[in-house]
C-alpha cells in the first residue's frame, strides 16, 4: 500500500466517524425516544460533538500536511 492510499484511508475513516457522530446528534436532538435510553443527554451529545471535532481536526491536518504533496 502506498503513502497516498494510507492517507486516503485515514481521511475516509475520519469522515465516516464525523458522519456517524452527526447522525447520532441529529437523532438525540430530533427524536426524544432515542434520547430516553440515555441518562445524561447533554453528556451524550457533548461526547458526539467532541468526536466530530476530533475527526475534523484529523481531516484538516491531513489536508494541510499531506494532500498538498
Task: Give domain limits for the chain.
Answer: 40-69
Model pLDDT for residues 9-67, shown as the tens digit of each residue = 999 999 999 999 999 999 888 876 655 565 678 888 999 999 999 999 999 999 999 98
Q: In a 3-state reduction of DSSP, which class is residue 5?
A: helix
**pLDDT for res 31:** 77
Q: What gap in Å lies between CA 52 and CA 49, rounded to an integer?
A: 5
Q: Dihedral sign for Cα 59, 55, 1, 5, please.
A: negative
| DSSP state letters, 28-59 | HHH-HHHHTT-S-HHHHHHHHHHHHHHHHHHH
Amino acid at each position: 500500500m502506498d503513502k497516498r492510499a494510507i492517507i486516503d484511508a485515514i481521511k475516509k475513516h475520519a469522515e465516516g466517524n464525523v458522519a456517524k457522530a452527526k447522525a447520532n446528534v441529529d437523532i438525540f436532538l430530533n427524536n426524544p425516544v432515542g434520547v430516553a435510553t440515555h441518562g445524561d443527554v447533554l453528556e451524550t451529545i457533548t461526547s458526539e460533538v467532541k468526536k466530530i471535532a476530533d475527526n475534523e481536526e484529523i481531516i484538516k491536518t491531513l489536508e494541510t500536511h499531506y494532500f498538498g504533496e
